[in-house]
Structure 1
Amino acid sequence: MNEPKSTVVITPDDLPLYCSGPTNESWNGHPRVFLPIESNGMAECPYCGTIYKLEGEVKKHH
């Protein structure tokens, strides 16, 4: 039986987005991976399956 994937809501202030495991403990996690979320507002970690949802509008830089 698969465990349900956790979902984390982030804001533009949390960017750039990275995941280092569900516990964010270096000894118990996976390698830190940066996740592109700006284009569609969602990203899934390829290591642990955590789903990230972006709430709010990302400010465009000139």
Structure 2
Amino acid sequence: MASDNPVITITPDDLPLHCSGPQHETWNGHPRVFLPIQSHGDAECPYCGAHYHLDGELPHHHY
């Protein structure tokens, strides 16, 4: 993923991953969008191009 924005590192505690414009004030950000991400993976916001990296493993869910 190519982006001019710095990488925002998140941990499993920050999930679910969503973006509403990390470089904007709350009042002028874009709509909140939830982003799919894999363990130790990356995701890029389609609105603002923010680049996220998950540092860790996705939690395991038991059904």
Q: TM-score, normalised by structure 2?
A: 0.80
Equivalent AA in structure 1 for residue 5 of structure 2: K
Q: Which residue of 2 aligns with 1:61?
A: 61
Which runs of no fewer than 5 residues in structure 1 stay unpaired? Answer: none
Q: Residues 58 and 39 from structure 1, CA distance in 2 versus in 1: closer, same or farther, beyond 3 angstroms?
A: closer
Q: TM-score, normalised by structure 1?
A: 0.81
* Higher normalized helix content (fraction of residues): 2
Which runs of no fewer than 5 residues in structure 2 stay unpaired? Answer: none
Q: Secondary structure of 2:58's match? A: coil
Aligned residue pairs total 60
Tell me if 1:11 matches 2:11.
yes
